[in-house]
Each structure stands twice: as C-alpha cells, then as structure tokens.
Structure 1
Amino acid sequence: MHPPGSAMAGDEPRVSREDEWLWGWDRTPGIVSVWAEPSGRAIVWRRIPDTGALVREDERYRPWILLDRMDDLHHLGSRLARDGGDAPFRFRELDGPGALRFLVSAEDGAALANAVLHGASRRLNQQLRHLRDLGPGSAFALPPEEQYLVATGRTYFRDLAFDQLHRLQFDLETTGLDATRNRIFMVAVLDASGAPHVLEADGEGDAAEADLIRRLVALICEADPDVIENHNLHGFDLPFLATRARKLGVPLALGRLAKLGLRERAARRGTARGDDPSRRVRFVAPGRELIDTMDAVMRYDFSARELPGHGLKAVARHLGVAAPDREYVPGAQIHTIYRTDPERIRRYATDDVEEVAAISRVLGGAAFALARMAPRRYERLADAGPATGVIDPLLVRAYLRAGAALPAHAPWDGTPHSGAALHLFATGVARRVVKADVASLYPSLMRAYRIGPAPDHLGALVALVDRLVEQRLAAKASGRAAPPGSAERHTHEAMSAAMKLLVNSAYGYLAAGGGLTRFADVHAANEVTRRGRETLNFMCRELAARGVTLLEADTDGVYFAVPEGWTEADERRVVAEVDALLPPLVQLEFDGRYAAMLSHEPKNYALLGYDGTLLLRGVAFRSSRSEPYGEAFLRRALPLLFAGDITGLRGEYLATLRALRTRELSTYDVSSRVRLTKSPERYAETRETRRELAYEALLASGRTRWRVGERVRVYRTQGGGAGVVASTDDDTGGVSDPRDYDVDHYSRLLRDTFAVRLARALTAADFAEVFAAADQLSLFAPSTASMHTVLDSRPVPASTAPSAAAITS
C-alpha cells in the first residue's frame, strides 16, 4: 500500500522493494528544491537535465499524521472515512506490531492537527496546543516538505549531476563581528556562470548599507540560483545579513517566493537564539537551498581527521584549491585596509567566494548524493548527522511504503551498552608499519549474522545496509572507470562516499540509547559488539602468529610492524591470509604502509609515510584548542624523532624555548581557540568563585557583550592576566601584536603539554635530558648522540576467542 498522495507512474519498470526503500519510486527528474505548506500546497522547482531549463510545478498533496489511536478523531463523524472515499479526513490502518499504526490524512494539515488536538484535549481533560504535547509514542508528523517527499516517493536531483546545479556563492565583508553595531561595507558574489561581482556601499551611513543589501537581493534574484553557498553561512553571514536588513527595514527576499522572506528552522549547528546554547536555528529561503560548506568540512574531517582547521583559508590550502596568488588579509584589518587600498580587499573577497565554490565541489558531493536517496531537503541533509538525520527518514519511508506500522521510540530498559574492542599493544616508535582496514566491521557483522533491531519487523535496516554496500561497490567501480576529473567520476565518487557514510552510521543508529532513534536496540547492538570483539581478537591472534608486531587494533583497523627485510608483497600476503579466515561479508583489506609510527595512546598516534608525509591522529596531536606554536613544534620534532636524530630534536626544543623567551613567536602562536558557553549574565553569577580565562580575556579587552557559541582566541598575559587575539581563525595577525604573553607559562606548556607527547618514544631518563631547559642539564648528562627511540611492546594476551571455524559459522 502506498502513502497518501503516491504518484507512482504506471509505465515504469518494477523495481525491488529494497531499491524503493533506498531510492524512492517516483522517477521525476531534476528536482532542485521543494517548498510545501501545511495547507497541502507544494511547489516543486526542477532543472531539466538535458537543457538546464528551470520549471516550476504547483501541486497538491494530502498532509498526514501517524497516530496510535483513532478515538481522538471520532468527533469528526461522517467527515472521517477509510481511504478510498471522498471524506475530507481519511485514515488507513497499517500492518504489523508497531504502535503508530493509523495513517490519517486531510486536505489541510492545520485542520488535521487541530482535529487531533481537539479530541486528545477532551480525552485527557487538558488543553493541548501542539502535537508534540501528545508525546512521540502517540503521534508522529514530519515537516511539510518531507511529508510530500515520503508520500510521493520523490527525491532531489534524480538524473542531475552536481555540476548541473546552479550554485551561487556570496560573502560579506563587515566593519566588525557585532551585527547590532557594525555594518556591511562589501559583498562578493560568484554567480552560477563563475562570474565574480563585488558590491560596495556608497558611503558609510544607513542609506548606503541599505542600498547595498537591496542590490545584493536583486543580484541573487536575477541570477536565480538553485543553491546559495558560503563558508559559515549559517554561523555568520546570514544571521549578520538578516540582523542588518531588519534593523534597516530592508526586505530580505532571497528565496523564489519573495513574499515569504526568510524562515527559520531548528538545526544542529546554526545561530543561537537567546542565551540557551542548545537552541540553534538556521534560515530557510523558500525555493532555494542554503548550503554552509562548513558542514561538509566538518563531516569530512570527522572521518579523515587530517584538516589543520575548519576555517576557509586553511581548508582551501589543504585541499589544494587556493590560488597561488591568493590575497590574505588579517581579519581585524580588512576594513582598515579597505579605506586605503580597496582593490586589495576586492581581490581578497573575490578569492573567498572562489574558494567556497571549489570546496563545495570537492566536499559537497556526499550531501548531494544523500539527497538523491533520502526524502529530505538538500540543505537539511547537508546539516544532518548521518544516523538520525538520514537513516531515520529512509526507514520511515520504507515502512509507509510497505504499509507497515511504525514503532514508537522505546525507553531505555537499563541494559548497559557494551564497549567496542580497543587494544594498544605497543607504545613508542615502530618501523615498517602496515595498516589493515577492517572494512566497516560492525555493519559487516550486522549483514553477516543478520543482526537488526527487534522493533524492525520488516528487516529494513539490514536490508538498506545490504543495498548500500552493494551499490557503493558499484559506484566505486564506475568512478574508477570514468575519466579522471570528469563530472561522471565526481558523481560516482560522491555517491560512494555518501553510501560509506550511511553504512558506517548504521551501527550508531542501532546502538543509540535513551530512545534517540526509533529502532534503537541495545541488545542487538551488544550482540554486534560481542561478535566484533571476537572477530578483532581472532584477527590479532592470527596476525601475530605470522610474525608481525601488533601496535594497535580497534574497529577501524589494525596497525602492525613487520620484520626487517619484508617486502610490500609479504605485507599484502599476511593480510590476505587472515582475510581468508573471516566470515564472507567481513573483509580485512590492506590499507597502507608507513615508514614509521609513534604510538602514544589508544587512537593517538603519528605516522610517517615512505614519501615523508606526516599524518597526525587523535586529540593528543591535533586539537582546535591547541596553541599553534605547540602543534608547529610537534610537526618539526616528529620527523627528527623518526629519523633518530635526538640531537636535532633537542635543538628544536631549545630553539622553540628561545623563540618564546625572545618573543619571536606572535601572540597568535600562543593563543588557544575556545567556544563560549556562558552568557555575560551567566558568567557574572559564577565569576566570584571561579575565574575563567576566556571570559576574563574578553572583559580585559573591554568587551562586556558576547554570543553563546562564539569562538575566540585567548592567551595568558604576564602577571597572570588574560588577553584576546584580534584575528580570525583563518588570518593570523591583527591590528596590533603586543607579545605580552606569559613566557614562563608557555615554556612549561611546551614541555608538559606538547613535548610529553613524545615521551613514549624515549626512555624516561633520556626524555628528561632531551627536554630539560638549557640551564637545567645535569653535570653528567649523557650525549644525545647515544640516545635512540624505543618501542615498548606488550605480549598479545592469551585469547579465548573462537577458532576460525567458529568465527565463520
């Protein structure tokens, strides 16, 4: 049975139900945006794949709600009937054991919600104002666009490539960061053709700024993009623009439905509303998708863990999309420099939007591909976490497509969630290191042993994982076969990345406690982790039996060192031999080889490639809060450590100490980036009992107002004070650089926070000598030339893991 409003074409070839669950069933091509309203009105904008023309289609759909009972609607009398009649309110009873088994629809969603609330209020003898007052176990409704997409089986972007979207980037240049008192003086825009535009205020008063905003709105409307993008769009540019437009009385009609202006929606990451940092919202421009490339950057770095930071310039440089002659300007100096050298700031602003466009193309493909699968707006999928944000709508659509009742969110029954396997077999420096990847271990075990949540009586979660893995392999193969750099290759690679994201989040969805997901099942999750521990222990035992030295193992893979004289062929052979002993759907793959590895703590290590590339993993080596001078020291010190140049390592340490003491290092270099979690009022309440560096720094700089969620760079000054570094995350420097930092504090920090991360590579005595200050060396200190790195290996514990036969049974 189909949900209300199903629009499945009769002449389309029949596909499997699992493919319908994953892709939807309506093949309408080129949807680039959907705007639906509770009234049952839906507007669909489509980009025709062959011609690129944009068409608008106005449609009607029947808003719907899932309920656990029908008695709250008995008061409707003859206006309520089963599906198939012409009554204004209709219902269908769904099959299966789920609690939410009555699918009720109406011509108008507000009338339907009011009817439910009227009946429930009478039943409970209390006034209910919103469906959420009934609780998630009694009623379930989606936002209007998702109701429409679920009901019709449609998805975004069918038959479109990413490069066929009409994308526009814009970036504000402002006189400061406070929208209540600072102004916009320039906006850089890159339209869908790639042509740059720079709009500037003709003066410094309200009228000039208002005129600038009107010209920006007119340019966007004329360009008519499907997507508007920027880096930190929802964290800064749109909130700032909206505040200034409201203050100046300028309508901000950025969408395709000008009369609606900008709307708001709840979001995981956006701008705070009020003093509650947990309440975040994002703006919505009806008819266009608003994409923040920061989301793609954070999603990418969550898995890759290789970006030096999340700021625009840092990411562009890392990805290789920054132009060689890219203009860099310290953030706090932009407006000052504009007054004397406006052309430089024009180049800077244009470079910003060009980098946004490039980053979006490199990293945005995964969200684009997800939108071709999940019944949710593109901009919401770009912002969503993969588990509840993507898998949940897929499962809801699957159940309604199958005519099956949905389970309610079940409360946690108190069963603890068993942890994943994690082994640290050695610390220190290892040579000739191999990584064997346990490809998507937990989802593979779910597939191999058909482990799914008990409430999922359709088996939809495991079925979706099956389809995702199969089609990801096909997408990977198609991507390799396509010409390098082609749009076809980019599309297939993006689809493969999106499917990998979903596959790897399936276990997280299953294991989510406290009723966070509809199909959470801690007992099934514990069975997966039990099998995972057995499988990982078995792999480690088999690898060790073949003569390697185990270093670290977890669900992501196994690192081990091989004996001197082994070739790459030997390394691959060992991995293949152990892989052959595993269950058919569980794979151990050769995933890389490295010249050396520093194993510091579990999931905290540094790798040196045979080509000299240095990779850092874990918060011990990479953290957004770390002071730049410390991380820079580690990046210079690690190659010396791997080379066995202990004399050079000590020299690097002393050189960094000297740079601190002579104040060669900038204030930015010693600052740390912190996120503000307290409002000025909240901090004032606790200040007398607990002083905190970040807030004291703001107060010392003269700032008495700040936003919850705002990030600032702060440092410790001489005499125990605190200061703020006047720069952005991307651009070092500021209006001034006082270099009044506490040298003794940052000298101690260099040793006790950063150098200590190298401690396991040396004996305790050698570490104490290498990282002693010049005036602290003992009289009989040994020569660093005689020192060498060490590896402290621990024996593989006797295993009670099952045999190969038991593992594969």
Structure 2
Amino acid sequence: MRQIVAAEAGSCGVQLYFHEGETFRLEQEVFEPFVLLSAEAEVPQNCTVKMLAGNGFFCRQAFFSSFEEYSKLLPELKKAPGVMVLRDNLQQALSMKSLRLFGDMDFTALRRMQFCIRGDDNGIENIEISDTSGFTAVYSGGEKEVIQSFIDRINGFDPDVLESFNGCRHDLPLLVKRAKKLKIVLSCGRDGGTFTMRQSRYAAGEKQYSYQRFSLAGRHVVDILHPVQLYDAAHRDLEELDLPSLQEYFQIEGSFVPQIIGRLSEILLPAYFYRTRELPLGFQECILRGSGSALDALLTAEYLCKGYSIPLPETPRPYAGALSNMEVAGVFHNVRHCDVRSLYPSLLLMFDTAPVRDEAGVFLSLLAKLRTFRLAAKDRARTLPDGVEKSQQEALQSSFKILINSFYGYLGFSQGAFNDFALAEKITAAGRELLGKLVKTLQEKGAVVIEMDTDGIYFQMPENSGEELETALNDILPPGIQLEFDAEYPAMFSYKAKNYALLTGDGAIKLTGAALKSRALEGFQRKFIRQLVSARLHDDPESGREAYENWRSAISNRETALEELAKSEVLSDSPENYRKKLASGSTRRSAPYELALASNKEYRAGDKVKFYVTGTKAKLPVVGNAKLLDDADPGNRDENIAYYLAKLDALYETFA
C-alpha cells in the first residue's frame, strides 16, 4: 500500500509526497478535473464525456483536458443547472484514482512540528517550536532572524504536519503580516511556496465557526483548537477551551507550549488520521468536515470508481427521533450503564436494507467491512499491553466507530446523495422499540431506570442482582446486537434530561449537560454547582451549606476574584456587522458587543469578551451595566454584589 504523506491537485497534476530518508520524494500523476452532468445539462467545451451506469440524476461525467480550462469555467459551472461540482480538487483526484492518504502508516510515523508565535502587530518577539524528533527551540532576537530561523527549521526537519493552537486566528495571520512587512518570503512549502489563505467555516455540534484557513503545499496545517472544539461538542466535558484548562483536563505535564500542543495532538488527532486513511479527503478536510459530508464523499468516490451515476438527495422531511429522556430525578446509588454496541448501524446490517437509491450496493458492504475492521482493532487493543501499539489500535477502532455510526445519521443527512428518510425512520423506530424492551425488562427486575440516551441506559441496580439481570437483558436482543455493561458508579445525580453528574469509583465527579457546567455560567457558578452536586452525591448537605456561606461571605466582602464573577462570550459576528444589524433592527442590544465597540481594542468575530456586571440592584439590564474585565480597577471594586448574591441564592435553592 502506497504511504502517501501529502498530496496536492491542480495545474501541475496530482503531486504525491512520500517519505524518503529524512526528506521527501515527489511523484506526479495526470489529473483530469471533472464535473457531473444530468441528461439535460449542456456539456462544457473541450470535454470528454463518460456515460455512467444506473438511474442516478447525474448520469454523465465530463472530463477537462486542462486544469486551466476547468478553472476558467468553474464560476459558470457552479451556477449551471444540472451540474454537480466537487469543489475540492484533491477529493476529485483521490476519488478517481482510488488513492488515500497515509496508506497503512501509523500516526507515530508522521513527522510533526508544533509552534507558538509570541508578539503582536508591532512585531514578533519569539517563536517556540518542538517536533517529533525531540528537538525544541526558542528563536528570539531580531525579528527577521527569528522568522528566518523558523523557515529554516521547517525546511530542515521537513514536517508532514504543522500544528499550532489558535494558529488560524493568531499565530499564522501575525506571521504572514510581519513577513510581508519585512519583505520575507515564507517559503515553507515542499514546493518552495508560501502559505495560501481563504475564509472558511465549519461546524462543531450546533455551533458554526468562521476561520481563516491556511494551506501549504505538501504539508498539513492543523490548528489543534479545531479538534478541541469538536471534542467539546461531542463530550461537553470542557469548562474552558484555553491551553491551561485543557492541560489540566487531559492531565498534560510541562510548561513549554509547543510540547503541550504536541501532546494534545497525540490525544486528539489519531482518530482523524485513521479516518483520513479511509476517505478521499485531505487531513485538514477530514478534521473539519462533518460526518455526513465525509461519508457522502466516500460513497460518491465508490460510485464513480464503479462507473455509476450519482442520485439527487431526497427532500428532507421530519421523522420521530431516537429514544432519549430522563425517567426520574434525584440522587441514586449503585448505578450501572449499559450500551447497545453500535445500535443503529447493527440494525441496518440486521435488516439488510440499503438506501433506496444505492443501486451499486455500496452502502451496506462498506458498513460491514468497516465494522469488521473496527471489531478486529478493538479485539487487538484488548489483548495488547499498555504502550504505543495498544494506543494505535484504540485510535484505529475509535476512528472506525465514528465512521460506522455516521452511516445511520447519513440516512437523514439533507445533503446526502444517498439519503433515505423512510429507512432512517424505520431504523430509528426499531431502535426505540428495542430500548423500550430493555427499559421494561429492567423495571420488571426491580431496577430504577434513570436516564436514556441514543443507545444506552443508566439505571440503579436492584439488590441481589447481577448475572441474572444481564442474562435477561441479553435474551431480548436479536442476533447481531450486543449489549455492553460498560461502567459502574457509586452514585448519580439526575437533574433533568441530559443533565446529570456521576461519581466514579476513584472519587472523580463527571458533569454532563449545560445546566451543570455551561461556559455561559460565570466561574463562581460553575465551581459552586460542582460543590453542591458533590455534596448531593456524597449525602453531605452540611458541606453544601458551608460552601454557600463561604461564597456569600466572599462576594459580600468583595473577596471573590473578579475573574470568577466575569462572564466570557465569544463574538459570533464582527462588532461592525452587529452595529449594522442593530441599525436595521434585525438584532437586539448585547452587552459584549457594546463593550467591544466602545473598547480601544480591535475585536473580530471569534474573539472572546470577558465582562462583569456593575450597579447596585439585583435585577437590572446587563446592557449598560457591564464593564470589560480588562478595564477593572482592583483598588476600586465596583461589581454588583446584589446581582451576584441573587445568582448564588438561586443556585443554592435549585441544587442544595
């Protein structure tokens, strides 16, 4: 299998990069860009047309003889009726050539470099770097020499991946700006070229992020903040997304920022690396594309390689969702969690039913293959001792799990060429029915069902029950569906649906849900909630009362750090756009935007605004009664004591 470490597609064809000793080898192949056409669509000039099999709407593939001709016509083609454009050139090339990045490489085989640039618009003070050879450096001194040393190290070490934290917003824009000012060519690409940039967006859960995307020929430019945001959207465990908080959460030791970034990458990137091995996409694209879009790229590639036409997506329609609700509230002891392994993908395979427009029979065969690979990797990981190989197998099975689970969600993906809302509804209903049977059996056996999510159940074990209960539950399951009892907890606090706390066997407390740990809460609120929840889990109301009195005293006497009282909000829009929307009446006044507009600092979309509330009344509008944390005078405290005490009282009444 070809171990391609990077690839580019464009006017020079397809450029494939391979490791060769401590540098790289370049291979070049022909690239014929293409568009897909309906039966009625007009064929672009100077194209070779291939007829595609099947009844899909896009039944012809038009190849261009030159990339220049394709690029010239692209703006018109995007708007033309009956034309489908795969806008990612690399996706086109990898799809048609059945190529994938990284081959059978392990993540540890990548050459990776981490960097942190310190400075501002007036100049770069220093650049800190580390890499997978163990090399570290801090380049300081004259700004020109600092930047040139950074360029030289990139070209000398020849990394496949450049990693930073918040680099797309701070480090790289600053580097490009200062290099331009100093007339330094940032020749960091494997072709000797410099960075290219474009505005882009991606989604992490329900949040949309705008960012400046940086690319470098032959290398992958990764801002590790992006997988952090994706991790947060999936797990909702992170209280803050800054490096010190992440270092504490992931238990990363050390103080040298590039090495912290490198350790974060080792934790978060392997799943995306192994995903890239399966998909016709670049590494950065695999990180930032949603699972539905990524699977659509894979299915489209399989179809085109088989010479099959591509259908139009079905029109979206509503259907009943998966079973997910809270049964009871309060504190429960001796709690177990059972999980139906890959419930919905397993139901798809059990029913042996593919999407209605999957004429080539690709959907289920891919799902079955990936499921087999995942189980094999999981079994290998289980038998291996702790170490690098075990970590690799765990990352591999985790990557396959994400891909496998996306098959079910893809059925209801509005932009998926092979979506099938009727099948999604059928599989969802079967999942609800199966989970309903499990709940009924648990209750009949004396268990207290506390909370259900998409494919798992939290419940309080009945007394004197163990293997008998597990046997009764497994007897309900159809062939091919497996139940895992994957966790035990001494106590659980259930507040409301999808908001609960778990006490682990080693005494740690895991909070789930925005009501318990949202970053929209002030710091003191998050800490106080954790103290109250801990008191509930340990049946210790006195410690909750003590925490309440301590906070009340500290706030009343202005002894609480203002940082704890401040709220952090990320600007989803630029202050200037906010001003325009406000003038047109399309938005309401907002404290963080008003503060940003009034500040001497230049704020942009994506920047964080930290502010606290001033005044004397417990109930008052925050707009007009807020101050930037940076503008606070430690010697003349002016936070609104009544406002913060009212918040404290409300929390105590809710959770004590």
* TM score, norm. by length of structure 1: 0.75
Q: Distance in 2 between matches of 1:316 and 1:572?
A: 40
Cα distance in 1 for residues equivalent to 2:304 and 2:186: 38
1:646 is aligned, of 521, 524, 541, to: 541
Q: Distance in 1 between matches of 2:218 and 2:611?
A: 41
Contact 1:607 1:616 in 2 (8 A): yes
Residue number in structure 2 paired with 1:489: 390
User: What's the counterpart of residue 642 of structure 2?
Assistant: 744
Correspondence for 2:319 among 390, 406, 417? 417
Give the Å deviation of 1:408.
2.3
Q: Would you say 1:98 and 2:70 are equivalent positions?
A: no
Partner of 1:621, secondary structure, is helix
> Which of 698, 714, 721 is the equivalent residue of 2:596?
698
Is the 8 Å Cα contact of residues 600 and 757 (structure 1) preserved in structure 2? no
Whole-Å separation in 2 of the counterparts to 1:230 and 1:614? 31
The equivalent of 2:42 in structure 1 is 72
- Stretch deviating more after TM superposition (690-699 or 537-546): 690-699
Q: Which letter maps to 1:751? A: D
2:4 aligned partner, one-letter code: I
The C-alpha deviation readout for 1:444-472, integer Å capped at 9, x for no partner, is: 22222234322222332332222222211
Paired position in structure 2 for 1:397 = 301
The CA deviation string for residues 235-277 of structure 1, in whole angstroms up to 9 with x for no partner, is 322223223333443322221122454243634179xxxxxx8
Q: Which residue of 1 aligns with 2:435?
A: 536
RMSD over aligned CA atoms reads 2.6
Contact 1:479 1:493 in 2 (8 A): yes
Cα offset for 1:74?
8.0
CA gap of 1:182–1:741, structure 2 versus 1, over 3 A, is: farther
Matched, 1:186 2:160: no
Give unpaired runs (5+ residues) of structure 2: 617-621
In the alignment, what sits opposite 1:301? 232
What does residue 408 of structure 1 align with?
A: 312
1-side partners of 2:582 and 2:42: how far apart?
52
Shift of 1:394: 0.9
Q: 2:213 aligns with which of 275, 279, 282?
A: 282
Counterpart code for 2:188: L
**Distance in 1, Cα, partners of 2:147 & 2:653:** 52
Structure 2 equivalent of residue 144 of structure 1: 89
For 1:439, the aligned partner's letter is R
- SS at structure 1 position matched to 2:458: strand
2:109 corresponds to 1:164: yes
Counterpart Cα distance in 2 of 1:448 and 1:397:
25
Alignment partners' CA distance in 2, 1:301 and 1:706: 24
Match of 1:233 among 159, 163, 167: 167
Instruction: Please state if 1:245 is matched with 2:179.
Output: yes
Q: Does the CA contact (< 8 Å) of 2:41 and 2:83 recur in 1?
A: no
Q: Comparing both chains, which one has the higher relative contact order based on Cα–Cα distances under 8 Å and sequence gaps of 6 or more?
A: 1
Q: Which amino acid aligns with 2:88?
A: P
Q: Which residue of 2 aligns with 1:666?
A: 561
Q: State the SS of the aligned residue for 1:620.
A: helix
Give 1:216's match in structure 2, choosing from 125, 146, 150. 150
**Aligned with 2:4 (options 4, 14, 31):** 31
Residue 696 and residue 505 in structure 1: after superposition, are their counterparts in 2 closer, same or farther (change >3 A)? same
Q: Is 1:524 aligned to residue 433 of structure 2?
A: no
CA distance in 2 between partners of 1:225 and 1:632 (Å): 41
1:433 aligns with 2:378: no
Asked whether the 8 Å contact 1:700–1:722 carries over to 2, the reply is no
Secondary structure at 2:517's aligned position in 1? coil
| Distance change >3 Å, CA 433–CA 169, structure 1 → 2 | same
Q: Secondary structure at the match of 1:234?
A: coil
SS of 1:45 mapped into structure 2: strand
- Is the contact between residue 449 and residue 459 of structure 2 (CA under 8 Å) also seen in structure 1? yes
Give the aligned partner of residue 342 of structure 1.
none
Aligned to 1:805: none
Counterpart of 1:708 (choices 571, 593, 605) is: 605
CA displacement at 1:740 relative to structure 2: 2.9
Any conservation in 1 of the 2:319–2:425 contact (CA below 8 Å)? yes
**Matched-pair contact (CA < 8 Å) for 2:203–2:290:** no
AA aligned opposite 1:744: A
Counterpart of 2:619 in structure 1 is none
> Matched residues in 2 for 1:213 and 1:573: separation?
67
Cα deviation for residue 33 of structure 1 reads 0.7
Normalised by the length of structure 2, the TM-score is 0.92
Q: Does structure 1 retain, via aligned residues, the 8 Å contact 2:220–2:284?
A: yes
What is the one-letter code of the residue matched to 2:431? G
Letter in 2 for 1:521: D
Give the letter for the 1:441 counterpart: L
Partners of 1:438 and 1:555 within 8 A in 2? no
C-alpha deviation, 1:159, in angstroms? 2.9
Report what 1:550 is aligned to. Answer: 449
Deviation at 1:693, TM superposition (A): 1.6
Q: Please say if residues 64 and 109 of structure 1, whose CA atoms lie closer than 8 Å, have aligned partners that are also in contact.
A: no
What do residues 405-451 of structure 1 show as CA deviations (whole Å, max 9, x unaligned)?
Answer: 11123433xx3222222232111111111111122222222222234
Q: Does 1:509 align with 2:410?
A: yes
What is the aligned-residue identity percentage? 29
Alignment partners' CA distance in 1, 2:589 and 2:69: 54
Closer, same or farther in 2 for the Cα pair 1:506/1:240, shift >3 Å?
farther
Between Structure 1 and Structure 2, whose CA radius of gyration is higher?
1
Pick one of 286, 302, 309 that aligns with 1:381: 286
Is 1:55 equivalent to 2:40 in the alignment?
A: no
Residue 157 to residue 715, structure 1, CA distance change in 2 (3 Å): same
- CA deviations 1:507-556 (Å, max 9, x no partner) are 2221123xx22222222211122112211111111111111111112313
Deviations 1:73-111 (A, max 9, x none): 3865xxxxxxxxxxxx43221111111111222331332
Structure 2 residue aligned with 1:321: 252
Q: 1:363 aligns with which of 268, 281, 301?
A: 268
Kindly provide the amino acid, as one letter, of the partner of residue 57 in structure 1: E
Contact residue 186 and residue 201 of structure 1 kept, 8 A: yes
Counterpart CA distance in 2 for 1:401 and 1:427 is 53
Letter of the structure 2 residue corresponding to residue 287 of structure 1: G
| Aligned amino acid, residue 294 of structure 1 | L
Distance 1:384 1:172 in 2: 27
How many equivalent residue pairs?
643
Tell me if the contact between 1:263 and 1:285 (Cα under 8 Å) persists in the aligned partners: no
Equivalents in 2 of 1:93, 1:616: separation in Å? 55
For structure 1, the residue ranges without an aligned partner over 5 or more in a row are 1-26, 77-88, 118-127, 176-180, 203-208, 271-276, 327-350, 728-733, 759-766, 768-809
Local SS of the residue matching 2:515? coil
Q: 1:495 Cα deviation (Å)?
A: 0.9
Equivalents in 2 of 1:280, 1:747: separation in Å? Answer: 38
Question: Structure 1 residue 384: deviation in Å?
Answer: 2.0
